[in-house]
Structure 1
Amino acid sequence: MDLKRIILLIVLIFSWQNSFALGSNSDLDILTGIGITRYNENSDDLSPISNAALTGINLNGTLLFPINNGQFWAPVFGGGMTFSALFGKENIGTYNSSTVFMSSLFLIANGGLKFGSTPSFSLYTLVNLGYSLYDKHSAEIETIFSTYHVDTEIKNHYLYGINIIGMFEKSKNFNMGGGFIFNRHSMRYNSFILLGKEPTNIGIDTTFDEYSFNFLISFNF
Protein backbone atom coordinates (compact mmCIF):
# COMPACT_ATOMS: atom_id res chain seq x y z
CA MET A 1 0.00 0.00 0.00
CA ASP A 2 1.50 3.34 -1.06
CA LEU A 3 1.84 6.42 1.17
CA LYS A 4 -1.14 8.25 -0.35
CA ARG A 5 -3.50 5.38 0.42
CA ILE A 6 -2.20 5.13 3.99
CA ILE A 7 -2.75 8.87 4.53
CA LEU A 8 -6.25 8.64 3.02
CA LEU A 9 -7.12 5.69 5.28
CA ILE A 10 -5.95 7.61 8.38
CA VAL A 11 -8.02 10.65 7.37
CA LEU A 12 -11.11 8.48 6.86
CA ILE A 13 -10.69 6.81 10.27
CA PHE A 14 -10.35 10.14 12.07
CA SER A 15 -13.32 11.57 10.15
CA TRP A 16 -15.41 8.55 11.16
CA GLN A 17 -14.49 8.93 14.80
CA ASN A 18 -15.08 12.67 14.75
CA SER A 19 -18.48 12.22 13.15
CA PHE A 20 -19.44 10.00 16.10
CA ALA A 21 -18.14 12.54 18.56
CA LEU A 22 -20.08 15.37 16.94
CA GLY A 23 -23.26 13.32 16.80
CA SER A 24 -23.30 11.80 20.29
CA ASN A 25 -21.05 13.87 22.51
CA SER A 26 -22.88 14.05 25.84
CA ASP A 27 -22.17 13.95 29.54
CA LEU A 28 -25.52 12.42 30.49
CA ASP A 29 -28.00 10.19 28.61
CA ILE A 30 -31.49 9.83 30.10
CA LEU A 31 -33.45 6.84 28.77
CA THR A 32 -37.04 5.93 29.60
CA GLY A 33 -39.64 3.67 28.08
CA ILE A 34 -42.23 0.91 28.24
CA GLY A 35 -42.02 -2.69 27.20
CA ILE A 36 -43.24 -6.28 27.28
CA THR A 37 -41.69 -8.61 29.86
CA ARG A 38 -41.87 -12.39 30.14
CA TYR A 39 -40.70 -14.58 33.01
CA ASN A 40 -40.21 -18.20 32.03
CA GLU A 41 -41.13 -21.13 34.25
CA ASN A 42 -39.36 -21.13 37.61
CA SER A 43 -36.73 -23.74 38.41
CA ASP A 44 -38.60 -25.55 41.19
CA ASP A 45 -40.88 -28.33 39.98
CA LEU A 46 -42.39 -28.56 43.49
CA SER A 47 -43.45 -24.92 43.61
CA PRO A 48 -46.81 -24.52 45.38
CA ILE A 49 -47.66 -21.62 43.07
CA SER A 50 -47.08 -23.75 39.96
CA ASN A 51 -44.47 -23.22 37.25
CA ALA A 52 -46.59 -20.84 35.19
CA ALA A 53 -44.76 -18.49 32.84
CA LEU A 54 -45.71 -14.85 33.45
CA THR A 55 -46.22 -12.10 30.85
CA GLY A 56 -46.83 -8.39 31.39
CA ILE A 57 -45.45 -4.88 31.04
CA ASN A 58 -42.56 -2.88 32.44
CA LEU A 59 -41.86 0.82 32.92
CA ASN A 60 -38.21 1.84 33.11
CA GLY A 61 -35.87 4.81 33.48
CA THR A 62 -32.08 4.93 33.32
CA LEU A 63 -29.32 7.55 33.72
CA LEU A 64 -26.09 6.78 31.84
CA PHE A 65 -22.83 8.74 32.04
CA PRO A 66 -20.50 8.35 29.02
CA ILE A 67 -16.76 8.65 29.70
CA ASN A 68 -14.09 9.90 27.26
CA ASN A 69 -16.45 11.07 24.51
CA GLY A 70 -14.96 11.71 21.11
CA GLN A 71 -14.08 8.17 20.07
CA PHE A 72 -15.96 5.52 18.12
CA TRP A 73 -16.87 3.97 21.47
CA ALA A 74 -17.11 5.20 25.03
CA PRO A 75 -17.48 3.46 28.39
CA VAL A 76 -20.75 4.23 30.18
CA PHE A 77 -21.98 3.65 33.71
CA GLY A 78 -25.12 4.54 35.60
CA GLY A 79 -28.35 3.05 36.82
CA GLY A 80 -32.08 3.40 37.15
CA MET A 81 -35.35 1.79 38.20
CA THR A 82 -37.76 -0.67 36.59
CA PHE A 83 -41.32 -1.52 37.59
CA SER A 84 -42.96 -4.67 36.20
CA ALA A 85 -46.41 -6.25 36.54
CA LEU A 86 -47.02 -9.75 35.19
CA PHE A 87 -49.78 -12.34 35.06
CA GLY A 88 -49.89 -16.04 34.26
CA LYS A 89 -52.19 -19.05 34.36
CA GLU A 90 -51.42 -22.74 34.17
CA ASN A 91 -53.50 -25.90 34.10
CA ILE A 92 -52.42 -28.40 36.74
CA GLY A 93 -53.53 -31.85 35.75
CA THR A 94 -56.96 -32.34 34.24
CA TYR A 95 -59.16 -30.35 36.61
CA ASN A 96 -56.91 -27.96 38.56
CA SER A 97 -55.40 -24.58 37.58
CA SER A 98 -53.18 -21.89 39.09
CA THR A 99 -53.44 -18.12 38.52
CA VAL A 100 -50.43 -15.98 39.48
CA PHE A 101 -49.84 -12.20 39.65
CA MET A 102 -46.44 -10.65 40.40
CA SER A 103 -45.16 -7.07 40.48
CA SER A 104 -41.70 -5.76 41.38
CA LEU A 105 -39.77 -2.51 41.66
CA PHE A 106 -36.06 -2.89 40.92
CA LEU A 107 -33.07 -0.66 41.54
CA ILE A 108 -30.59 -1.48 38.76
CA ALA A 109 -26.92 -0.61 38.19
CA ASN A 110 -25.54 -0.58 34.62
CA GLY A 111 -22.11 -0.55 33.04
CA GLY A 112 -20.88 -1.14 29.51
CA LEU A 113 -20.06 0.51 26.20
CA LYS A 114 -21.70 3.04 23.90
CA PHE A 115 -20.95 2.76 20.17
CA GLY A 116 -21.74 5.14 17.33
CA SER A 117 -21.12 4.32 13.67
CA THR A 118 -22.92 7.46 12.45
CA PRO A 119 -23.96 10.76 14.08
CA SER A 120 -27.61 9.62 14.04
CA PHE A 121 -27.28 6.17 15.65
CA SER A 122 -25.99 4.92 19.00
CA LEU A 123 -25.69 1.36 20.29
CA TYR A 124 -25.45 0.53 24.00
CA THR A 125 -24.24 -2.83 25.30
CA LEU A 126 -24.78 -2.98 29.05
CA VAL A 127 -24.46 -5.34 31.97
CA ASN A 128 -27.30 -5.27 34.52
CA LEU A 129 -27.18 -5.91 38.26
CA GLY A 130 -30.36 -5.29 40.22
CA TYR A 131 -32.10 -5.78 43.55
CA SER A 132 -35.83 -5.61 44.18
CA LEU A 133 -37.04 -2.91 46.56
CA TYR A 134 -40.64 -4.13 46.44
CA ASP A 135 -42.39 -7.37 45.46
CA LYS A 136 -46.04 -8.35 45.47
CA HIS A 137 -46.94 -11.94 44.69
CA SER A 138 -50.36 -13.54 44.86
CA ALA A 139 -51.84 -16.75 43.53
CA GLU A 140 -55.00 -18.81 43.51
CA ILE A 141 -55.09 -22.56 43.04
CA GLU A 142 -58.46 -23.78 41.81
CA THR A 143 -59.46 -27.42 42.21
CA ILE A 144 -62.70 -29.25 41.58
CA PHE A 145 -63.40 -29.00 45.31
CA SER A 146 -62.39 -25.44 46.27
CA THR A 147 -60.07 -22.47 45.68
CA TYR A 148 -56.88 -22.04 47.74
CA HIS A 149 -55.47 -18.55 48.25
CA VAL A 150 -51.68 -18.23 48.37
CA ASP A 151 -50.03 -15.23 50.04
CA THR A 152 -46.31 -15.07 49.27
CA GLU A 153 -43.51 -13.10 50.91
CA ILE A 154 -40.60 -12.50 48.50
CA LYS A 155 -37.08 -12.16 49.91
CA ASN A 156 -33.61 -11.62 48.40
CA HIS A 157 -34.91 -11.02 44.88
CA TYR A 158 -32.01 -9.99 42.65
CA LEU A 159 -31.10 -10.16 38.97
CA TYR A 160 -28.12 -10.01 36.63
CA GLY A 161 -28.00 -9.93 32.85
CA ILE A 162 -27.45 -7.91 29.67
CA ASN A 163 -29.19 -5.01 27.94
CA ILE A 164 -28.79 -4.19 24.22
CA ILE A 165 -30.17 -0.79 23.12
CA GLY A 166 -30.26 0.93 19.73
CA MET A 167 -31.22 4.63 19.52
CA PHE A 168 -31.86 6.79 16.43
CA GLU A 169 -31.52 10.57 16.59
CA LYS A 170 -34.81 12.34 15.77
CA SER A 171 -33.72 15.87 16.63
CA LYS A 172 -30.88 17.50 18.51
CA ASN A 173 -30.44 15.69 21.84
CA PHE A 174 -33.62 13.61 21.36
CA ASN A 175 -33.62 9.96 20.28
CA MET A 176 -36.01 7.06 19.80
CA GLY A 177 -35.29 3.37 19.64
CA GLY A 178 -35.65 0.00 21.30
CA GLY A 179 -33.91 -2.50 23.50
CA PHE A 180 -33.70 -6.17 24.44
CA ILE A 181 -33.04 -7.38 27.99
CA PHE A 182 -32.10 -10.83 29.25
CA ASN A 183 -31.89 -11.22 33.02
CA ARG A 184 -31.48 -14.16 35.35
CA HIS A 185 -33.57 -13.80 38.53
CA SER A 186 -33.06 -15.43 41.89
CA MET A 187 -35.33 -15.14 44.92
CA ARG A 188 -36.76 -16.90 47.93
CA TYR A 189 -40.46 -16.96 48.63
CA ASN A 190 -42.39 -18.06 51.68
CA SER A 191 -45.89 -19.11 50.63
CA PHE A 192 -48.73 -19.26 53.11
CA ILE A 193 -51.43 -21.52 51.67
CA LEU A 194 -54.78 -21.49 53.42
CA LEU A 195 -55.90 -25.12 53.47
CA GLY A 196 -59.20 -25.03 55.31
CA LYS A 197 -58.62 -23.14 58.55
CA GLU A 198 -54.91 -23.89 58.94
CA PRO A 199 -52.28 -21.92 56.94
CA THR A 200 -49.35 -23.93 55.59
CA ASN A 201 -45.97 -22.19 55.19
CA ILE A 202 -43.67 -23.40 52.40
CA GLY A 203 -40.30 -21.72 51.76
CA ILE A 204 -38.54 -22.26 48.43
CA ASP A 205 -35.50 -20.79 46.63
CA THR A 206 -36.09 -20.42 42.90
CA THR A 207 -34.53 -18.98 39.73
CA PHE A 208 -36.03 -17.99 36.39
CA ASP A 209 -35.17 -16.06 33.21
CA GLU A 210 -36.57 -12.72 32.06
CA TYR A 211 -36.94 -11.55 28.44
CA SER A 212 -37.98 -7.94 27.83
CA PHE A 213 -38.52 -5.96 24.62
CA ASN A 214 -38.73 -2.20 25.18
CA PHE A 215 -39.64 0.96 23.26
CA LEU A 216 -37.38 3.79 24.44
CA ILE A 217 -36.82 7.52 24.13
CA SER A 218 -33.70 9.31 25.33
CA PHE A 219 -32.38 12.81 25.96
CA ASN A 220 -28.70 13.80 25.76
CA PHE A 221 -27.17 16.55 27.89
Structure 2
Amino acid sequence: MNLFYNPKGVGNVAFLKIDTVEGPFEYEKYGDIVAIKKENQVVGLNIFNADEHLTLEGQGHIKFTEAHANAIQKAIDASALDYQLNADFSPKFVVGYVKSKEKHPDADKLSVCQVDVGTETLQIVCGAPNIEQGQKVVVAKVGAVMPSGMLIKDAALRGVASSGMICSMKELNLPNAPQEKGIMVLDDSYTVGQSFFNA
Protein backbone atom coordinates (compact mmCIF):
# COMPACT_ATOMS: atom_id res chain seq x y z
CA MET A 1 0.00 0.00 0.00
CA ASN A 2 1.19 3.50 -0.81
CA LEU A 3 0.19 6.68 0.99
CA PHE A 4 0.36 10.09 -0.71
CA TYR A 5 -0.24 13.52 0.81
CA ASN A 6 0.23 16.84 -0.99
CA PRO A 7 -1.54 19.56 1.02
CA LYS A 8 -0.13 22.43 -1.09
CA GLY A 9 -1.11 20.92 -4.42
CA VAL A 10 -4.29 19.01 -3.59
CA GLY A 11 -5.45 20.21 -0.19
CA ASN A 12 -5.93 18.31 3.05
CA VAL A 13 -6.58 14.96 1.37
CA ALA A 14 -4.53 11.77 1.76
CA PHE A 15 -4.65 9.08 -0.92
CA LEU A 16 -4.06 5.43 -0.07
CA LYS A 17 -3.30 3.24 -3.08
CA ILE A 18 -4.35 -0.32 -2.23
CA ASP A 19 -4.05 -1.97 -5.64
CA THR A 20 -2.47 -0.91 -8.94
CA VAL A 21 -5.12 -1.15 -11.64
CA GLU A 22 -6.11 0.85 -14.70
CA GLY A 23 -9.28 3.00 -14.67
CA PRO A 24 -12.06 3.88 -15.12
CA PHE A 25 -13.02 3.85 -11.47
CA GLU A 26 -16.19 4.27 -9.44
CA TYR A 27 -16.22 6.61 -6.45
CA GLU A 28 -18.40 6.21 -3.34
CA LYS A 29 -18.39 8.82 -0.55
CA TYR A 30 -18.77 7.88 3.10
CA GLY A 31 -18.25 11.06 5.12
CA ASP A 32 -14.53 11.88 5.02
CA ILE A 33 -13.75 8.61 3.23
CA VAL A 34 -14.10 8.15 -0.53
CA ALA A 35 -13.79 4.55 -1.68
CA ILE A 36 -12.22 4.22 -5.13
CA LYS A 37 -13.53 1.03 -6.72
CA LYS A 38 -12.87 -1.04 -9.80
CA GLU A 39 -15.40 -3.79 -10.57
CA ASN A 40 -16.78 -3.42 -7.04
CA GLN A 41 -13.36 -3.97 -5.40
CA VAL A 42 -11.83 -1.18 -3.28
CA VAL A 43 -8.52 -0.25 -4.94
CA GLY A 44 -7.88 3.05 -3.16
CA LEU A 45 -9.15 5.50 -0.57
CA ASN A 46 -9.24 9.28 -0.41
CA ILE A 47 -9.23 10.52 3.20
CA PHE A 48 -10.57 14.08 3.40
CA ASN A 49 -9.67 16.31 6.39
CA ALA A 50 -6.66 14.02 6.51
CA ASP A 51 -4.82 15.75 9.34
CA GLU A 52 -7.83 15.21 11.62
CA HIS A 53 -7.51 11.44 11.12
CA LEU A 54 -3.80 10.90 10.52
CA THR A 55 -0.44 12.13 11.76
CA LEU A 56 1.31 13.06 8.51
CA GLU A 57 4.86 14.37 8.32
CA GLY A 58 6.20 15.73 5.06
CA GLN A 59 4.42 15.52 1.75
CA GLY A 60 4.36 13.47 -1.41
CA HIS A 61 5.00 9.77 -0.89
CA ILE A 62 4.62 9.09 2.86
CA LYS A 63 6.01 5.90 4.44
CA PHE A 64 2.89 3.88 5.27
CA THR A 65 3.06 2.63 8.87
CA GLU A 66 0.96 0.51 11.20
CA ALA A 67 -0.09 3.74 12.94
CA HIS A 68 -1.44 5.04 9.61
CA ALA A 69 -3.25 1.74 8.96
CA ASN A 70 -4.86 1.81 12.41
CA ALA A 71 -5.91 5.47 12.05
CA ILE A 72 -7.38 4.90 8.57
CA GLN A 73 -9.23 1.78 9.79
CA LYS A 74 -10.66 3.85 12.67
CA ALA A 75 -11.87 6.48 10.16
CA ILE A 76 -13.38 3.73 7.97
CA ASP A 77 -15.13 2.17 10.97
CA ALA A 78 -16.56 5.58 11.91
CA SER A 79 -18.00 5.92 8.40
CA ALA A 80 -20.66 3.75 6.75
CA LEU A 81 -18.06 1.98 4.57
CA ASP A 82 -17.80 -1.73 5.31
CA TYR A 83 -14.13 -2.40 4.57
CA GLN A 84 -11.18 -3.98 6.36
CA LEU A 85 -7.63 -2.89 5.49
CA ASN A 86 -5.27 -5.83 5.08
CA ALA A 87 -1.89 -4.15 5.33
CA ASP A 88 1.28 -6.24 5.22
CA PHE A 89 4.16 -4.65 7.14
CA SER A 90 6.66 -7.47 6.70
CA PRO A 91 9.93 -6.29 5.08
CA LYS A 92 9.76 -6.10 1.30
CA PHE A 93 13.52 -5.92 0.64
CA VAL A 94 15.12 -8.98 2.19
CA VAL A 95 18.30 -11.04 2.03
CA GLY A 96 17.82 -14.12 -0.15
CA TYR A 97 19.92 -17.20 -0.87
CA VAL A 98 20.05 -18.56 -4.42
CA LYS A 99 19.40 -22.29 -3.92
CA SER A 100 19.42 -23.12 -7.61
CA LYS A 101 19.83 -21.51 -11.01
CA GLU A 102 18.63 -23.01 -14.28
CA LYS A 103 18.62 -21.68 -17.82
CA HIS A 104 15.29 -20.23 -18.93
CA PRO A 105 13.77 -22.65 -21.47
CA ASP A 106 12.86 -19.84 -23.89
CA ALA A 107 15.43 -17.06 -23.37
CA ASP A 108 19.23 -17.30 -23.54
CA LYS A 109 19.95 -14.39 -21.21
CA LEU A 110 17.44 -15.28 -18.47
CA SER A 111 17.91 -17.63 -15.53
CA VAL A 112 15.19 -19.29 -13.43
CA CYS A 113 16.25 -19.16 -9.78
CA GLN A 114 14.87 -20.70 -6.59
CA VAL A 115 15.59 -18.17 -3.85
CA ASP A 116 15.22 -18.84 -0.11
CA VAL A 117 13.99 -15.64 1.62
CA GLY A 118 13.70 -17.15 5.10
CA THR A 119 9.95 -17.74 5.27
CA GLU A 120 9.55 -19.26 1.81
CA THR A 121 11.35 -20.13 -1.41
CA LEU A 122 10.50 -17.86 -4.35
CA GLN A 123 10.91 -18.59 -8.03
CA ILE A 124 12.47 -15.52 -9.63
CA VAL A 125 13.45 -15.06 -13.26
CA CYS A 126 16.66 -13.01 -13.40
CA GLY A 127 18.49 -11.47 -16.35
CA ALA A 128 21.71 -10.52 -14.55
CA PRO A 129 24.87 -12.03 -16.09
CA ASN A 130 26.51 -12.58 -12.67
CA ILE A 131 23.71 -14.53 -10.94
CA GLU A 132 24.96 -17.87 -9.55
CA GLN A 133 23.78 -20.62 -7.24
CA GLY A 134 25.04 -20.18 -3.67
CA GLN A 135 24.95 -16.35 -3.61
CA LYS A 136 23.32 -14.15 -0.99
CA VAL A 137 21.37 -11.42 -2.78
CA VAL A 138 18.86 -8.63 -2.19
CA VAL A 139 15.31 -9.66 -3.11
CA ALA A 140 12.47 -7.18 -3.69
CA LYS A 141 9.40 -9.21 -2.78
CA VAL A 142 5.97 -8.83 -4.37
CA GLY A 143 4.49 -5.59 -3.02
CA ALA A 144 7.85 -3.79 -2.82
CA VAL A 145 8.04 -0.31 -4.31
CA MET A 146 11.40 0.31 -6.00
CA PRO A 147 13.13 3.71 -5.64
CA SER A 148 12.06 4.33 -9.27
CA GLY A 149 8.40 4.00 -8.17
CA MET A 150 7.92 0.63 -9.89
CA LEU A 151 5.73 -1.80 -7.95
CA ILE A 152 6.95 -5.41 -7.85
CA LYS A 153 4.17 -7.81 -8.84
CA ASP A 154 3.84 -11.48 -9.66
CA ALA A 155 4.71 -11.79 -13.35
CA ALA A 156 5.53 -14.25 -16.08
CA LEU A 157 8.72 -13.67 -18.07
CA ARG A 158 8.68 -15.50 -21.40
CA GLY A 159 6.09 -17.87 -19.99
CA VAL A 160 7.87 -18.64 -16.68
CA ALA A 161 6.32 -17.43 -13.40
CA SER A 162 8.41 -14.99 -11.37
CA SER A 163 7.61 -13.72 -7.86
CA GLY A 164 9.91 -10.86 -6.94
CA MET A 165 13.14 -9.36 -8.25
CA ILE A 166 16.82 -9.91 -7.48
CA CYS A 167 18.23 -6.38 -7.24
CA SER A 168 21.31 -4.53 -8.40
CA MET A 169 22.84 -1.65 -6.45
CA LYS A 170 21.63 0.71 -9.17
CA GLU A 171 18.02 -0.52 -8.88
CA LEU A 172 18.21 0.01 -5.10
CA ASN A 173 19.53 3.54 -5.69
CA LEU A 174 22.58 2.85 -3.54
CA PRO A 175 25.58 5.21 -3.65
CA ASN A 176 28.57 4.24 -5.82
CA ALA A 177 26.50 1.71 -7.79
CA PRO A 178 28.49 0.21 -10.67
CA GLN A 179 27.26 1.05 -14.16
CA GLU A 180 27.75 -2.44 -15.58
CA LYS A 181 24.83 -4.85 -15.40
CA GLY A 182 24.70 -7.27 -12.51
CA ILE A 183 22.95 -8.02 -9.26
CA MET A 184 24.37 -7.05 -5.88
CA VAL A 185 26.09 -10.04 -4.22
CA LEU A 186 26.20 -9.90 -0.43
CA ASP A 187 28.85 -11.33 1.88
CA ASP A 188 28.25 -14.00 4.54
CA SER A 189 27.63 -11.47 7.32
CA TYR A 190 24.03 -11.12 6.08
CA THR A 191 21.32 -13.46 7.39
CA VAL A 192 18.82 -14.97 4.96
CA GLY A 193 15.36 -13.49 5.51
CA GLN A 194 16.50 -10.34 7.32
CA SER A 195 15.36 -6.93 6.14
CA PHE A 196 18.10 -5.55 3.88
CA PHE A 197 17.59 -1.89 4.75
CA ASN A 198 17.69 -2.57 8.50
CA ALA A 199 20.73 -4.83 8.20
TM-score w.r.t. the length of structure 2 is 0.24
Write 1 or 2 for the structure with the bigger share of strand: 1
TM-score w.r.t. the length of structure 1 is 0.22
Q: Which has the higher contact order (CA 8 A, sep 6+)?
A: 1
Query: Which of the two has higher C-alpha Rg?
Result: 1
